Structure 1
């Protein structure tokens, strides 16, 4: 198990959100590939820091270095 990383990415003038998820379950990528919309919340010490708007799922891929799943969404 590892940390989940959330980062904003600007590519070709468009903004994206990328969630990097540890590869904990072999079924996880197949399940995520069926998702069309996502929303996420960030918490620290049980307190809500940020709740994203609904995002359109645009891509699910594996990181080349460690096999983590990278989920990309855009507003």
Structure 2
């Protein structure tokens, strides 16, 4: 599935994030969904606590795309996105928000 995620969360166990020519791989409980804020659509990606270097790599890149997997099966591939925000939620998960 590609395009933009809908509001219903999609859960996976691995995600590959392409940042320029680099590939960042995260494993664990992962979720993506589309959110609407101030009339604009965003893709939200929630990752397990990340290696600080991976977070810095993503922040510096500014642009990224990702593919979400469950048990090796591709569930969702994002369009190219511009990084809008990276933050931690109340449980320590990394929340990455981007828009086309």
Give the TM-score band, short-chain normalised: 0.7 to 0.9
Could you tell me how far apart the structure 1 residues matched to 2:81 and 2:56 are? 19
Tell me by how many angstroms 1:45 deviates: 4.3
List structure 1 runs of 4+ shifted beyond 6 angstroms: none
Unmatched runs of 5 consecutive residues or more in structure 1: none
**TM-score normalised by length of structure 1:** 0.80
* Structure with greater strand share of residues: 2
Tell me by how many angstroms 1:35 deviates: 1.9
What is the number of residues matched between the two proteins?
Answer: 74
Name which of 32, 55, 58 aligns with 2:84. Answer: 58
Could you tell me how far apart the structure 1 residues matched to 2:72 and 2:48 are? 21
Is 1:46 aligned to 2:93, yes or no?
Answer: no
**TM-score normalised by length of structure 2:** 0.63
What is the aligned-residue RMSD (CA, Å)?
A: 1.8
Alignment of 1:9-48 (within 5 A): 9-48=35-74
Equivalent in the alignment of 1:67:
92
Unmatched runs of 5 consecutive residues or more in structure 2: 1-26
